[in-house]
Every structure is written in structure tokens, then in C-alpha cells.
Amino acid sequence: MAESVCRARLVQFAPRLGAVEDNVERHRAAIAAAVESGRELVVFPELSLTGYYLRDLVSEVALTPESPSLRALVEASRRVDVVCGFVEESPTCALYCTAAYLAEGQIRHLHRKVYLPTYGMFDEGRYLSAGAELRTFPTRWGPAGLLICEDLWHPSAPYVLSRQGMDLLIAVSASPLRGVQPGGPEIQATYAQMLGTYAALFQCHVLFCNRVGVEDGVTFWGGSRAVSPLTGECACAPLLEETYVDVDLSRSDLRIARLATPLLADERLDLTLRALEKIRRE
């Protein structure tokens, strides 16, 4: 039976570009502090072990599931569940932007970023391969799904996870600052709207962890947050600062939201599949 409350911590920080071992030690220190504070789940941003603008460093910092750097965090997950991001090298030497869910001294799930942005300032497709799978995985708090940054901008991704019974959506990001308006960054408002919509429509908790810092002249804005399908945004980190935000997610919120408005129960997957198949044929 799923536990009633998830005591999570979002660690909003600036990884040091290309310095895997230094970043591992910062992860271990943050994990130890979270354990001391009674947290049960610690979430780090996209590519938290490597930094984002790697370019030709991608192959040099790539890890496999058996790499000592990653195994150090796997060992740390005996005390608390951990989500971290790294460049994964597959057995065929393909390189992926991957988020790992670690728990009880094991790698419980690896999500390879499905959508690699290639517009504007982004050039991920030149250095990385795209993942090809979306699936949930079990946690103490029910089925969870992992998405990475650009994955969120494609509603089909959380929809597929929702149809697999997702209770908790964990989204990690390295989102750059752009579109600054008098009321704050435009990108922050867009993410807040998007995450709130997903929590409401897919009736799940959402944890969003975005990095901060500056790489190659690009600033990352932070603003990590948690959203409930019942009460909306329930925690939010400040912009641009290295910090953490703690949140307790109640399973009762899911039950109340789903009983009040049975969106998940009423969803017609068969109709959706027929419509998509017709579009594909045409």
C-alpha cells in the first residue's frame, strides 16, 4: 500500500560544468543534509552530475550504470530516495541525457530524454541520442513518472504516463532564462501554467526541479516547485538562488481530486488510440 505522505526536497543548485566528481560530492552532502532533516525523496536538476553546455565534453563525462561516480549515489540511496541527472553511455556507445531514480541501494528507473530541443539556443540533437520509451515505475508513494525539460512541452508524454497510473510526476530541468517581463521571467509563468495544468488534468502530484547558475553566458532561472492536483502550487523556490525547497505531498489530495472530478476514470483510451491510428494512416 502506498505511503500517505511523501516528504520531498528539491535541490536547486548550479552544477560545475564537466566536474563529475565535484558534483558527486555536492550531491552526497545535500543528500546527507536531507536525511538529517527527515526528507524521504531528494530531487536534483537535469544533468546535475555534469552541467548542461557540455558539447564536446559529452563523451568524456558519460557514465554507465556501473560507473563508480553513479554507484556512490546509488549507495547513498539506502537512506533516502534520490533523483539525479547525468549523461548515460549505453552498451552500444550511444549517449543520452538521463535521469535516474535511485532507492534502497538500487537503480530503480532510468529515463532517457525523449525530446531533444534543436531550436533557438539549443543544440542537443548534435551531441545526444533521443530516448524511445515512456513508462512509470513503482515508488513508496505509488507509480511515478520521470520527464526531462523538453519532454514537458509535449503533452503526449505526461498523458502516456498518466494512462499507466502515474501518481507522482517528477520533472527535472536545465531551463535557461529568457523573456524577462516586469512581473518576472516569461518562461517561469509558462512553466507554472503548464505544471499546474498537468497536475489538474492528470490528477497527480508534480515535482519540478530546475537548476540555477551561468554557463557559456546563459543564465538558468531556478524556480523549482511542487504542485498538488487539489490545492495547486504548494511550494516554490526563489529565482536564481542556490537553495532547496521542502514539501510534503499528501496522498489524500489525489483521492479527493479524483473522486470529485473522475477525469482519469472517464478517460477513453480506446477512442484516443483509434483517432491516433487514423491520423497515422492518413
- CA distances in angstroms from 133 to 91, 108, 113, listed in the order given: 17, 15, 9
pLDDT tens per residue across span 69-103: 999 999 999 999 999 999 999 999 999 999 999 99
Q: Quick one: pLDDT at residue 119? A: 87
Domain that holds residue 59: 5-281
What number is the average pLDDT over the span 262-282? 97
Q: Quick one: pLDDT at residue 182? A: 62
Could you give the number of structural domains in the chain? 1
Torsion angles phi and psi, residue 143, rounded to 5: -65, 135
Buried b (16+ CB within 10 A) or exposed e, 178-200: eeeeeeebebbeebbebbbebbb
What number is the average pLDDT over the span 257-276? 97
Asked if pLDDT for residue 180 goes beyond 90, the answer is no
Q: How far apart are CA 15 and CA 213, in angstroms?
A: 8
Q: Which of 177, 178, 219, 173 is nearest to 195 (CA)?
A: 173
How many of the other CB atoms lie within 10 Å of CB of 56? 7
What number is the average pLDDT over the span 139-144? 98
What number is the average pLDDT over the span 9-18? 98
Asked if pLDDT for residue 114 goes beyond 70, the answer is yes
pTM for the model stands at 0.97
Domain containing residue 260: CATH number: 3.60.110.10
The grid cell for 250 is: 499528501
Q: Quick one: pLDDT at residue 179? A: 66
pLDDT tens per residue across span 143-170: 999 999 999 999 999 999 999 999 999 9
Tell me the three state secondary structure of residue 167: coil
Q: What percent of the chain has pLDDT over 90?
A: 95
